Amino acid sequence: MDAQELAGETAIVTGGAQGIGLAVVRLLVERGARVAIIDINAAAAAEVADKLGRERVAVVQGDLKRRQSVTDAFSRAVDALGAVDMLVNNAGTYPRTAIGDLDDEAWDRCFDVNLRGLYHMTVCAAAHMRSRGRGRIVSLASASAYIPYPMNAHYAAAKAGVASLTRSFAMACAPDGVLVNAVAPGATDTEGLQAQSISSPDLLHQIPLRRLALPEDIAEVICFLASPRNRYVTGETVIASGGIVMA
The residues carrying an active-site annotation are 155
Band of the pLDDT at 193, cuts 50, 70, 90? low
- Neighbouring C-beta atoms of residue 192, cutoff 10 Å: 15
Band of the pLDDT at 204, cuts 50, 70, 90? confident
Domain definitions of the chain by residue range:
10-240
The fold for domain 10-240 equals Rossmann fold (3.40.50)
d(CA 193, CA 121): 25
Percent of the chain predicted with pLDDT > 90: 79
Closest CA to 179 of 121, 219, 118, 230: 230
Element spanning 13, H or E: strand 10-14
Q: Is the pLDDT of residue 189 over 70?
A: yes
> What does the mean pLDDT of the chain come to?
93
Q: What's the pLDDT tens digit per position in 22-45? A: 999 999 999 999 999 999 999 999
Cβ(180)–Cβ(163) below 8 Å: no
